[in-house]
Amino acid sequence: MSKIKRGKNIVSVPSSLDYLKEVDEFVETRLKSAGLDENKLADVAISVAEAVTNAVVHGNKCNLKKRVQVELKIESPRIIIKVQDQGNGFDPQNIGSPLEGNNVLKEAGRGIFILKSLMDEVDFSFEPEGGTVVRMVKYIKK
């Protein structure tokens, strides 16, 4: 049985960065039908890769028994992406800006900043049974 589970709008992978390529291929294949220009396609692809990386590393702590699910829907005039992990969650208000103070020198801590910079909307929700859902929106024509 394949470790990668696919549906029309969903791909689910084990919590390993080894699966980023498959997630990227899923996203790019779906986006090419949406008529995005190259810059917007790149913004979405980078954002999904960053959100999946955060889900694997910070959410699921690279636990291969946990999965990361990516759902991508094209609902003109926008694209809606949800990245869900099975981790314990976090408080987005406690994430410092990578542009302030000592954060500038840190090697990590820019993921959410990148998402908010590249996407038109970004929000977080937390499942009662555990897990974080990052919802991102990119408008097709803006």
What is the reported pLDDT for 78? 93
Q: Tell me the C-alpha distance between 68 and 20, whole Å.
A: 11
* pLDDT higher than 50, residue 69: yes
Q: Tell me the C-alpha distance between 27 and 96, whole Å.
A: 29
What is the reported pLDDT for 104? 47
Q: What is each CA distance from 98 to 9, 59, 133, in whole angstroms? A: 33, 20, 22
Q: Which one is predicted more confidently, 1 or 34? A: 34
What is the reported pLDDT for 1? 46
What is the reported pLDDT for 36? 81
pLDDT tens digit sequence for 11-44: 999 999 999 999 999 999 999 877 788 899 999 9
What is the reported pLDDT for 8? 85
The DSSP call for residue 137 is: E
Q: Which domains occur in the chain, in start order?
A: 5-139 (3.30.565.10)
pLDDT tens digit sequence for 84-130: 999 987 666 666 554 565 544 445 555 788 899 999 999 999 988 88
pTM of the model: 0.87
Q: What is each CA distance from 21 to 17, 48, 116, 118, 142, in whole angstroms? A: 9, 11, 22, 20, 28
Report the DSSP beta bridge partners of residue 73: 80
The runs of H, that is alpha helices, within the chain are 20-32, 38-54, 111-118
Q: Tell me the C-alpha distance between 61 and 120, whole Å.
A: 28
* pLDDT higher than 90, residue 7: no
